[in-house]
């Protein structure tokens, strides 16, 4: 199968001009098939604050009421997505910005209320892999915003790491997929205050233990959950690294099991 590189970028990388410029420049140099998934949560948080809308997060996931949904739709599907697409076009990359509603790319269902009511948040049910593959075969580079739809006329906010993971899983049936989560840290850290404390390899059992010990917490939890689910579904490799290192052998390589036990 042909190789496909999926890059997910989030955090302050998409907010700051210089870091975004470097990331997109590196992305443009990746050879072969590629796809970009972006977040934009900090920009959405800032706009919500300016509008007097309260931001609520639980375990790294945003609670999305109707007002917040309007904000994230504007920020993710508009401001952030089109800014990235325009910059990629300037680099010679024929990018196409998409939400899950465009061309029925990603269908989701509103998350049912259990212990927490997440509001207008979508759980992915179907990724239109054939359509994405058709675009990729025409040398189009999809740029996915973290918004999905329920095919009943409703936009739903969906975690960008989940978008990347579910897209990687769906396309793993058609491509040899490498999934790279990049952000402002060097990888998964043993100590969040020490950027050099990168865990080079992380298997599922250690993830579960480190999560219970609160070494891994917040937004890193859904990122790693999606990473392991992607590997289970046939994605070749998942790497978590700094945005400036997407083409280098660095960061944390996520694996279902490792041959030699690491000591933390």
Q: How far apart are CA 157 and CA 190, in angstroms?
A: 30
Q: Which helix (H) or strand (E) holds 9?
A: strand 3-9
What is the per-residue pLDDT for 255? Answer: 87
pLDDT of 260 over the 60 cut? no
pLDDT band at 258; cut points 50, 70, 90: low
Alpha helix segments (H runs only) across the chain? 17-28, 41-50, 66-74, 81-90, 129-137, 160-171, 204-212, 220-232
Q: How far apart are CA 94 and CA 263, in angstroms?
A: 45
| DSSP β-ladder status, 176-183 and 147-149 | unpaired
Q: Which of 156, 164, 162, 56 is nearest to 116 (CA)?
A: 56
Contact 211, 202 (CB under 8 A): no
What residue numbers bound the domain in which 22 lies?
A: 3-255
What is the per-residue pLDDT for 88? Answer: 98
Residue 262 lies in a domain: no
- Portion of the chain with pLDDT greater than 70, in percent: 97
Q: How far apart are CA 39 and CA 83, in angstroms?
A: 12
pLDDT band at 221; cut points 50, 70, 90: confident
pLDDT of 264 over the 50 cut? no
Residue 261 lies in a domain: no
The tally of domains found in the chain comes to 1
Residue 264 lies in a domain: no
Contact 2, 176 (CB under 8 A): yes
Residue 260 lies in a domain: no
What is the per-residue pLDDT for 64? Answer: 93
pLDDT band at 109; cut points 50, 70, 90: very high
Return the top range by mean pLDDT from 131-135, 204-208, 211-215, 246-250: 131-135
The b/e string for 2-31 (b: 16+ C-beta within 10 A; e otherwise) is: eebbbbbbbbebbbeeebbeebbebbbebe
pLDDT band at 60; cut points 50, 70, 90: low
Query: What is the CATH number for 229?
Result: 3.40.1160.10
Residue listed under structure tokens 């060097």: 186
Mean pLDDT of all residues belonging to the chain: 91
What is the per-residue pLDDT for 261? Answer: 45
pTM strictly above 0.75: yes
Residue 84 lies in a domain: yes
- pLDDT tens, residue by residue, 183-216: 888 999 998 888 889 999 999 999 999 999 989 9
What is the per-residue pLDDT for 192? Answer: 83
- pLDDT tens, residue by residue, 39-53: 988 888 889 899 999
How many other C-beta atoms lie within 10 A of the C-beta of residue 236? 16
What is the per-residue pLDDT for 173? Answer: 95
What is the per-residue pLDDT for 101? Answer: 98
Mean pLDDT to the nearest integer, 149-155: 97
Q: How far apart are CA 106 and CA 128, in angstroms?
A: 6
End-to-end Cα separation, the chain, in angstroms: 37
Measured over the CA atoms of residue 16, residue 74, residue 100 and residue 218, the dihedral's sign is positive
Q: How far apart are CA 87 and CA 108, in angstroms?
A: 29
Contact 38, 10 (CB under 8 A): yes
Residue 115 lies in a domain: yes
pLDDT of 262 over the 50 cut? no
Q: Which helix (H) or strand (E) holds 108?
A: strand 106-110
Beta bridge partners of 126: 107
Q: How far apart are CA 10 and CA 238, in angstroms?
A: 16
How many other C-beta atoms lie within 10 A of the C-beta of residue 94? 12
- Portion of the chain with pLDDT greater than 90, in percent: 68
């Amino acid at each position: 199968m042909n190789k496909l590189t999926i890059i997910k970028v989030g955090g302050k990388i998409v907010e700051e001009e210089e870091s975004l410029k470097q990331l997109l420049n590196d992305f443009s140099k990746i050879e072969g098939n590629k796809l970009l998934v972006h977040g934009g949560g900090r920009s959405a948080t800032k706009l919500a604050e300016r509008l007097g809308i309260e931001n609520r997060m639980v375990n790294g996931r945003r609670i999305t009421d109707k007002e917040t949904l309007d904000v994230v739709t504007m920020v993710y599907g508009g401001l952030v997505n089109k800014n990235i697409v325009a910059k990629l076009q300037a680099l010679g990359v024929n990018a196409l910005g998409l939400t899950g509603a465009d061309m029925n790319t990603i269908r989701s269902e509103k998350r049912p209320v259990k212990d927490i009511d997440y509001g207008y948040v979508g759980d992915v049910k179907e990724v239109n892999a054939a359509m994405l593959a058709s675009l990729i075969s025409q040398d189009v580079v999809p740029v996915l915003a973290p918004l999905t739809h329920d095919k009943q006329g409703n936009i739903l906010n969906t975690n960008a790491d989940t978008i990347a993971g579910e897209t990687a899983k769906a396309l793993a049936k058609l491509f040899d997929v490498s999934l790279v989560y990049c952000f402002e840290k060097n990888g998964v850290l043993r100590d969040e205050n020490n950027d050099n404390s990168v865990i080079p390899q992380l298997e599922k059992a250690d993830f579960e233990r480190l999560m219970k010990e609160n070494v891994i917490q917040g937004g890193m939890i859904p990122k790693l959950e999606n990473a392991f689910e992607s590997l289970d579904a046939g994605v070749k490799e998942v790497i978590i690294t700094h945005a400036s290192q997407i083409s280098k052998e660095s960061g944390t390589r996520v694996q279902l099991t490792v041959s030699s036990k690491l000591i933390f």
